[in-house]
């Protein structure tokens, strides 16, 4: 979609920007890359510029792949690309590789470096590396309001003049400075005389860099693909990727020998590793620039972030507070959501009853009342819980608590062989496993990444919540929130134990240090929170209207066909009755049972029942778990079809009335659904991230563990007298 935005031109004062005069260039779509450090607000600015609504969060690692949008400004069309946050162009994690490779291979027309105005010293370090790519660069001084609150007075024009690039102050969350930023982008993308300035590293280093640049540029074809200046600096930093790229150069061996000699000279001269020398030169330049353009005013009061963190990040209180927060989220979700959930259940039950009363007995009536209303209606009843759950989690994300949760659990996770940063994908797994698995790209150590991806399915995603909520409300009505939280806690415990096992067997390796910035607390915006909620709820509703609807119809058909022909006295259901699209009236519970057992679903269920019977499940539960591989919500819709009694009672009541179900069976089923392999979309994502070998391992491991866990819970519980 193309968005037309009317913005007036406001050229930056201290940087010379001249619009291009060549009319042919107006027809070319210009590519603008939004790049920078994690948690600098890139996606927020991207949404503000392109009119999109991608997920943003007050913690690092939200964007794990590049996103694109189109915008028209004036008579020009721009392609905006939101890149993952990175700390350096020396890439280690997959998200850093995505950003680096895009800049090197796609060569955008302009890099907009989104900077956290309150942390300029750290963020400008990456900016200097961007300048060495030979691509025009400009800066967006984002979160400028937070910098002012900390007493920082930034002269954007002066800083831009020193660094040789336009600088525009912005506050992405409030749309401040967005128009000025787009105006500056429009000018800088076509002609910016000072936007390709590079850092002078001093006479000693420049004397070594110069010959390397000349040697690299000698191969014109190679130099057209990779910036010579950037590559020369990376060779001094002993970057492995730069050395690999140089393999395509005609004089590769000679240049590598020159780089080795240069590094040896620098290390002998300075008595330090060349990486440290290069880093010191950059920070020295940054210190001087900030001294000229930034004034620190005295702020006597302790900031809100510091005051809150003294309690929230206390080494004794951090973990208990984290657990208390999660408990509060679950308790509020079920307490507040029980009322609208009951209303929806009653509404769908009444709708099904009304269809039975106004329509004659036929396949169409059965399809509408039993298949669609009974299946999809059962899933739709849990929408209030989905809305409330993600409302509270979105507030925690935007507030900035997620980063604190990572630090609070870091030492605890290390005991199980996990990296502290694994907590982000794991917590995202409570929403959906697909983005959670992709978020594991932020982990630099391949072993940590594999382990994290393999344990994410143990996190009870939003698709499993309707199953847990249904069974908890039906069999643990006194405190359903406690039952669901117990399942979530068991999932986390299983994930940790699995990680411990994997890190000591198939994925041995040393721990990597956990380094992450803590963002300041920020008040969540109503628009941002509501968008997060709508995004998650919309995905749920979309499933209800597509996958779940189709699955419900298929399950209904599997329970209706082939039609059982009951004998009543000497009467038999005639062929003529079936030819009119009608089926026998199944008022008797016995006839309903016979029809189900005679149907395709019943035959499949009876075939697989020996596998499920040791877990306390009958064939209907077995069929429901199999259909759940399409999407876990389908388990509820399948149960809604299979346990439909034909009256106006809800699914919860029907389950409670069934003699085969008990609180023990319900809890075993909750754990079984928690552990067995996730939905098809998640399996495809695991395959794309890790390959077929780990996908097959995940399938086998989760199936076996899920069966053993349910078996142990049911049989131990039965032995202890909890079967009824």
d(CA 111, CA 120): 17
Higher pLDDT, 597 or 84: 84
The pLDDT, as a whole number, for residue 23 is 41
Give the containing element (helix H, strand E) for 94. Answer: helix 94-105
- Report the pLDDT averaged over residues 499-504: 90
pLDDT at residue 192, as a whole number:
65
pLDDT reported for residue 580: 40
Which pLDDT score, from 0 to 100, does residue 520 have?
73
Residue 604 pLDDT: 86
Rounded Cα distance, 724 and 721, in Å: 8
Q: State the pLDDT at residue 478.
A: 87
Residue 295 backbone dihedrals phi, psi, to 5 degrees: -115, 125
Q: 């306390």: which residue's tokens?
A: 616
Q: What is the pTM of this model?
A: 0.65
More reliable by pLDDT, 301 or 368: 368
Q: C-alpha angle with apex 712: 711 to 717, nearest 5 degrees?
A: 105
* CA nearest neighbour of 472 among 341, 637, 376: 341
Instruction: Work out the pLDDT band at 25, boundaries 50, 70, 90.
Output: very low
pLDDT (tens digit per residue) in 706-716: 999 999 999 99
What percent of the chain is helix, strand and coil (3-state, nearest 5)? Answer: 65, 10, 30
532 confidence band (pLDDT: 50, 70, 90): confident
Of residues 582 and 609, the one with the higher pLDDT is 609
For the segment 223-248, the average pLDDT, to the nearest whole number, is: 91
String of DSSP letters for 173-193: GGTBTHHHHHHHHHHHTT-BT
The tokens describing 185, both together, are 């982008």
pLDDT band, residue 723 (cuts 50/70/90): low
* List of residues 6+ apart from 409 with CB closer than 8 A: 319, 322, 420, 423
- Output the six-digit token pair for 627: 């259909």
pLDDT band for 571, please (50, 70, 90 cuts).
Answer: very low
Minimal CA–CA distance to 457: which of 707, 185, 686? 686
Please state, in angstroms and rounded to a whole number, the distance separating the CA atoms of residues 492 and 326.
Answer: 13
Residue 284 has pLDDT above 80, yes or no: yes
pLDDT grade, residue 512 (50/70/90)? low
Structural tokens at position 160? 């831009």
Q: Judge whether 425 and 452 are in contact, CB under 8 Å.
A: yes
Q: How many CB atoms lie within 10 A of CB 415?
A: 9
Whether 518 has a pLDDT exceeding 80, the answer reads no
Query: pLDDT at position 374, please?
Result: 72
Position 515 scores a pLDDT of 58
Residue 177 region by backbone torsions, left for phi larger than 0, else alpha for psi between -120 and 50, else beta: left
Q: What is the pLDDT of residue 587?
A: 46
Two structure tokens written together for 127 = 């900016």
Q: How confident is the model at residue 208 (pLDDT cuts 50, 70, 90)?
A: very high
Confidence of residue 531 (pLDDT cuts 50, 70, 90): confident
Give the per-residue pLDDT at 516: 61
Per-residue pLDDT tens for 652-704? 888 888 877 899 999 999 999 999 998 877 888 888 889 899 999 999 999 99
Comparing 90 with 571, the larger pLDDT belongs to: 90
- For residue 192, what are the β-bridge partners? 17
Domains of the chain: 2-18+25-188 (3.40.50.300), 203-296 (1.10.287.1770), 320-526 (no CATH), 574-719 (no CATH)
As a whole number, mean pLDDT of residues 526-536 equals 77
622 vs 602: CA distance, rounded Å = 10
At 52 the pLDDT is: 64
Q: What is the pLDDT of residue 301?
A: 65
**Mean pLDDT computed over 358-376:** 79
Predicted confidence at residue 578, as pLDDT, reads 42
Q: Averaged over 256-271, what is the pLDDT?
A: 93
Joined tokens for residue 275: 């990486």
172, 200, 300, 424 from 282: Cα distances, Å: 28, 9, 31, 31
Quickly state the pLDDT bin for 589 (edges 50, 70, 90): low
Segment 477-506 shows an average pLDDT of 90
Q: Which of 5, 310, 305 is nearest to 143 (CA)?
A: 305
- Judged against a pLDDT cut of 90, whether residue 307 lies above it is answered with no
Average pLDDT, the chain: 81
In the chain, the percentage of residues whose pLDDT exceeds 90 is 27
> Region 96-115: what's the mean pLDDT?
89
pLDDT of residue 5: 33
Q: Which two tokens stand for residue 74?
A: 């004036």
Query: Is the pLDDT reported for residue 418 higher than 50?
Result: yes
- Residue of higher predicted confidence among 153 and 531: 153
Q: 9: pLDDT confidence band, cut at 50, 70 and 90?
A: very low
Rounded Cα distance between 408 and 309, Å, is 11
Which range in 229-233, 298-302, 596-600 is most confidently predicted, on average pLDDT? 229-233
Residue 28 has pLDDT above 70, yes or no: yes
Q: Which residues is 567 bridged to in the sheet? A: 572
* Calpha distance 262→209 (Å, rounded): 8
Residue for token pair 């590769």: 252
**pLDDT tens digits for 132-187?**
988 899 999 999 988 888 888 999 999 998 998 999 999 988 889 999 999 999 88
| Band (299; pLDDT cuts 50, 70, 90) | low
Is the pLDDT higher at 591 or at 546?
Answer: 546
Average pLDDT of span 314-320: 83
Give yes or no for residue 204 having a pLDDT over 60: yes
């Amino acid at each position: 979609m193309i968005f037309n935005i009317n913005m007036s031109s406001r050229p930056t004062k201290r940087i010379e920007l001249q619009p291009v005069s060549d009319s042919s260039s107006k027809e070319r779509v210009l590519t603008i890359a939004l790049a920078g450090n994690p948690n600098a607000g890139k996606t927020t600015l991207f949404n503000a510029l392109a009119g999109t609504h991608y997920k943003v969060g007050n913690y690092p690692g939200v964007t794990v792949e590049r996103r694109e949008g189109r915008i028209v400004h004036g008579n020009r069309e721009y392609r905006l690309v939101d890149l993952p946050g990175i700390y350096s162009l020396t890439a280690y994690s997959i998200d850093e590789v995505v950003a680096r490779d895009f800049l090197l291979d796609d060569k955008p027309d302009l890099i907009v470096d989104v900077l956290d105005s309150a942390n300029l010293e750290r963020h400008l370090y990456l900016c200097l590396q961007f300048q060495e790519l030979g691509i025009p660069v400009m800066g967006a001084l984002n979160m400028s309001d937070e910098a002012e609150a900390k007493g920082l007075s930034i002269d954007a024009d002066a800083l831009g003049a020193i660094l040789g690039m336009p600088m525009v102050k912005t506050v992405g969350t409030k749309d401040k400075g967005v128009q000025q930023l787009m105006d500056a982008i429009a000018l800088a993308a076509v002609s910016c005389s000072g936007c390709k300035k590079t850092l002078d590293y001093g006479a000693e280093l420049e004397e070594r860099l110069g010959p390397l640049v000349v040697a690299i540029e000698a191969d014109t074809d190679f130099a057209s693909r990779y910036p010579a200046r950037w590559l020369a600096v990376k060779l001094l930093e002993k970057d492995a990727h730069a050395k690999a790229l140089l393999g395509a150069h005609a004089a590769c061996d000679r240049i590598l020998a020159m780089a080795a000699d240069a590094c040896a000279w620098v290390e002998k001269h300075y008595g330090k590793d060349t990486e440290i020398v290069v880093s010191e030169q950059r920070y020295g330049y940054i210190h001087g620039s900030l001294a000229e353009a930034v004034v620190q005013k005295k702020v006597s009061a302790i900031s809100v972030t510091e005051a809150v963190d003294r309690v929230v990040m206390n080494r004794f209180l951090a973990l208990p507070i984290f657990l208390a927060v999660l408990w509060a989220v679950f308790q509020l979700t079920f307490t507040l959501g029980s009322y609208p959930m009951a209303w929806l259940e009653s509404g769908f039950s009444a709708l099904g009853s009304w269809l039975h009363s106004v329509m004659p007995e036929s396949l169409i009536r059965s399809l509408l009342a039993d298949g669609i209303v009974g299946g999809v209606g059962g899933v739709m009843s849990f929408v209030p819980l989905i809305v409330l759950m993600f409302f509270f989690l979105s507030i925690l994300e935007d507030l900035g608590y997620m980063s604190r949760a990572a630090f609070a659990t870091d030492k605890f996770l290390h005991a199980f062989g996990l990296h502290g940063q694994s907590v982000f994908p794991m917590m995202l797994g409570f929403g959906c496993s697909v983005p959670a698995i992709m978020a594991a790209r932020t982990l630099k150590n391949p072993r940590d990444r594999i382990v994290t991806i393999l344990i994410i399915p143990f996190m009870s995603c939003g698709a499993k919540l309707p199953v847990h909520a249904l069974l908890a409300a039906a069999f643990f009505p006194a405190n359903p929130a406690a039952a669901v939280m117990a399942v979530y806690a068991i999932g986390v415990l299983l994930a940790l134990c699995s990680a411990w096992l994997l890190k000591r067997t198939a994925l041995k390796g040393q721990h990597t240090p956990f380094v992450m910035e803590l963002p300041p607390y920020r008040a969540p915006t109503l628009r941002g929170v509501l968008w997060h909620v709508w995004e998650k709820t919309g995905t749920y509703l979309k499933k209800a209207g597509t996958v779940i609807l189709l699955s419900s119809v298929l399950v209904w058909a599997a329970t209706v066909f082939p039609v059982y022909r009951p004998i009543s006295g000497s009467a038999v259901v005639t062929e003529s009755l079936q030819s009119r699209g009608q089926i026998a009236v199944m008022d008797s519970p016995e006839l309903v049972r016979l029809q189900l057992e005679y149907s395709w679903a019943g035959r499949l269920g009876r075939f697989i029942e020996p596998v499920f019977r040791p877990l306390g499940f009958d064939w209907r539960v077995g069929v429901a778990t199999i259909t759940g591989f399409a999407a876990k919500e389908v388990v509820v819709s399948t149960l809604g079809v299979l346990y439909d009694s034909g009256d106006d009672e809800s699914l919860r009541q029907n389950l409670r009335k069934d003699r085969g179900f008990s609180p023990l069976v319900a809890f075993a089923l909750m754990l079984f659904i928690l552990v067995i392999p996730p939905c098809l979309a998640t399996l495809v994502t695991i395959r794309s991230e890790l390959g077929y070998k780990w996908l097959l391992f995940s399938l086998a491991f989760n199936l076996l563990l899920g069966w053993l866990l349910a078996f142990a819970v049911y049989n131990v519980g039965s032995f202890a007298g909890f079967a009824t």
